[in-house]
Amino acid sequence: MDTTVALAQALIQRPSVTPEDAGCLGIIGERLAALGFTLEYMDAGDTRNLWARRGTGQPLFAFAGHTDVVPTGPEADWTHPPFAGHLADGMLHGRGAADMKGSLAAMVTACETFLAQHPAPSIDLALLLTSDEEGPATHGTRHVMDVLQARGEAIDWCLVGEPSSKSTLGDIARRGRRGSLNCTLRVNGKQGHVAYPHLALNPIHDVVAGLTRLSTTEWDQGNDHFPATTLQISNIHSGTGVTNVIPGSCEVKFNFRFNTEQTPEGLKAKAEACFDGAVADLAFDWNLSGHAFLTDGGPLAGALQQACQDVLGVTPDINTGGGTSDGRFIAPTGTDVVELGPINATIHQVDECVCADDLARLSTTYARILELMCV
């Protein structure tokens, strides 16, 4: 079995549902220590983090990724047990195969290949790994970056192994992501009998006009790098479950996916203004998951493109699509960030899987990127 596939299989067999690491970092750390990496565990809260670095100078190239996975749902729905790492017909099956234990394995074996050929490279290497990416993302990469910044340790280039590819390995890579801003709106009215509305204050009626304005506003038209900012109302909860009681409160959850035309502060102000004129007591609870970011990519983007052409025979579309990633915590420090990983067709789904040959080729591509960064 290919070494990258074997390592990915071993990682999949660890049930590391957020925020559990389940021993994945120990497996990876052992391989990295043998290559001369210094291992520093930066655990915080319920999260396991590993900062592994080889060398003490600059420039510094870092791989970044996460060992945690989303829940499987009913395991009986899976064709193969989700934590078995089953290999059949050229496909490696299991939760995390594509998102993103396959990428982690490719990072490790790429370092092994690269350092065997270049034992004294002109760049330092590091891996930033966490078990908190699929969850709140509070104690993971965000925490490690805070620690690194506090002691003046800078990353020049970072490759995040999120599954970016769509139809064929390497067809899409990222150099930026939209920001994500969440809000929980709590509306306090007055409960009453539906036959006597003048004695009550219906919180749903009171905010429906504001919700209409919120959902129909054009926030911007995007720009050369990002699509337009979008707003989605994801939850509305109110009432006692019966038809003859006016509810006393209502809770609404909504999310902005925003581009670099917007700031969180500006979006908050515009959104809250949509509810001007409401009579009920309104409370907005905002939570910023991450700012929008865009890096020029510099030599890293060029190396990624050249490596994909050399190894995979494709020229990647390097864009800013998709959701969010931990790149949002790394890019603001001035690091050039790109993302490249396996095909994402089955991520977070039942029967998640990845082509085994793709993992081997991804490892070779990562190693080629490292070579090109030394030129």
Encoded amino acid at 243, one letter: T
Q: Find the helix or strand (DSSP H, E) in which 238 lies.
A: strand 230-238
| Tokens found for residue 6 | 């074997």
Question: Where in 67-123 does DSSP place strands (E)?
Answer: 87-88, 91-93
| Tokens found for residue 194 | 């539906």
Backbone angles phi, psi at 338, to 5 degrees: -130, 160
Residues whose CB is less than 8 angstroms from the CB of residue 118 and which lie 6 or more positions away in sequence, other chains included: 370, 371, 374
| Stated length of the chain | 375
- Whether residue 99 is annotated as binding a ligand: the answer is yes
- Whether residue 162 is annotated as binding a ligand: the answer is yes
Give the active site residues.
Answer: 68, 133
- Whether residue 75 is annotated as binding a ligand: the answer is no
Encoded amino acid at 367, one letter: A
Cα(326)–Cα(134) distance, integer angstroms: 10
Cα(93)–Cα(259) distance, integer angstroms: 35
- Whether residue 93 is annotated as binding a ligand: the answer is no
Cα(231)–Cα(214) distance, integer angstroms: 8
Binding residues for Zn(2+): 66, 99, 134, 162, 348
